[in-house]
Amino acid sequence: MGKRKLKKYVLPSLIGIVGLSSCIGVSLYIESTKPVDSNYRFTISPKNEEIIPVINEVESKTPIKPFLEETVGKNIDFYSVKDDSETQMNSLVYYDKTYTQNTGILYSSDEIFDVVSVFEGTIKKVGEDNILGKYVEIEHENGYKTVYYSLSETSVTEGTVVQKGDVIGISGINKLEGIKENNLLFESYHDGYLMDPEEFYNVDFSMVN
């Protein structure tokens, strides 16, 4: 029986297949030796057991509001010189026949509510004001400070480190007129100066030096 000869197109095809296989092998090796990105975790798909990278959520570095209950609402807003005259009139507090500018936001509710730390920090002072009731002062990083007035009870001590969302007291009453029984007067400061709490809520501490 005579020897069979390969047809002219067979040899180039074999060379092409071998070359393609080599390229795929090199690519797979390179991918397998790449370092794993620390920002990813891996999960297995229940259908085909495929490993799927999932981006880890980064913890928010912005403050939260000083309460968690949805029943709490804004009673009197922060007095700002940038507001129009009507808004400023609605940002005054009344005590002993005198109107004064509100230094924070007065929150109120028909129900008792927990007061929480808006951001991590250190309890600098726990005390009681003759008009505004019991209060807690928290020092945060980068010159920020928050004060929580009108508490019926406090649950922290000076020098304690608290985290965002930790309960520091319970809503209460103060001597300001025309408000509900369950209140919280919340103040925020930066480098010793009062600031609008609504602006403080938007501070990104990961970007602050």
Q: Please, which residues have CB within 8 angstroms of residue 118's CB and are 6 or more apart in sequence?
A: 63, 64, 65, 66, 146, 164, 186, 200, 201
Work out the pLDDT band at 180, boundaries 50, 70, 90: confident
pLDDT of res. 207: 86
User: Per-residue pLDDT for 17 more than 80?
Assistant: no
CATH class of the domain whose range is 73-200: mainly beta
Residue 136 CA to its chain's centroid (Å): 20
Encode 169-180: b = buried (16+ Cβ within 10 Å), e = exposed: bbbbebebeebe
148 versus 35: the higher-pLDDT residue is 148
pLDDT in tens, 127-162: 999 999 999 999 999 999 999 999 999 999 999 999
Share of the chain above pLDDT 70, in %: 71
Q: Which two tokens stand for residue 135?
A: 């209060």
pTM above 0.85, yes or no: no
User: Per-residue pLDDT for 208 more than 90?
Assistant: no
Work out the pLDDT band at 55, boundaries 50, 70, 90: very low
Where in the chain are the domains?
10-55, 73-200
